[in-house]
Structure 1
Amino acid sequence: MIPLDIRVQADPFDYGQECGRFAKQSGRIGAVVTFCGIVRDTEAGTLQRMEIEHYPGMTERALTQIAEQAAARWDIQACTIIHRHGPMAPGDAIMMVATASPHRADAFAAADFLMDYLKSRAPFWKKEITDQGAEWVDAKDSDEAALSRW
């Protein structure tokens, strides 16, 4: 079994520090792919904050299962998923995915797979609080369509 680092946390994380730590994995690693999702403002520029809710225990199990699926499909040597919950402001890091592999193709494919899953299937619920009030964020058809390639 490869090293899986799955974290669901309220506290911010330092993306650069996490990338540096992850890139120092031992073994047959020749490629590291990372992605950091950031809370973005609305097109109208009215987002005050985003709030993310989840069910502790259930969420970590779901993220672990999808990371294990990625490890079974691609030759990855390590995987990290960090996802925050609670209130976040525009510009805050919301999540991070990192994969390590002997070769870049598997690292990219596994990371892409994980990001599509996190966007569409991970058990998180997002609410946007804007100048006009609060609204739950619905799943997008484009995010669902991205899963069809896997």
Structure 2
Amino acid sequence: MSQYTRIVLAERPQSEIDSKTFRTEIVPFDLRPNAKQILVQTIYLSLDPTQRTWLNDTRGYMKPVQIGEVMRSGGIGVVIQAGSGSRFQRGDTVFGMLGWREYVVLDDNDPGLARIEVPPGVELIDFLGPLGITGLTAYFVGPGLLKPYVLR
């Protein structure tokens, strides 16, 4: 492999996202994990409403994506190389902030990085929906947020 694809923020949208908002880049494949890192090949990316807020140049619960940076996104991937001291192994399926790119090097100590073990009756993609961050947020936070609005 000599190159890979990533999608970066080209300009901040003034209203709607359009063809000028993002730029596709083909870059040299120079990704090498160190002892406590993993090289991950992206399988699935999550598209969540919060990503639109990350395009604005205002501080929120996460800093905005900067011009020229890879678009931030949760995703699922497979470890294709693990550093000698990594807690992960080649072939592990993981969830983390992969971003809009085919490959990424992630630190073992990244708090959002987790190994996924798919139980019977569940599809891998479910970890980006009902078994992922958005699904768990809806399950645990949603009822509390909706409570004042429930008709009795």
TM-score by length of structure 1 reads 0.27
Choose between structure 1 and 2: higher helix proportion.
1
Choose between structure 1 and 2: higher strand proportion.
1
Greater relative CO, 1 or 2 (CA 8 Å, sep 6+): 1
TM-score by length of structure 2 reads 0.27
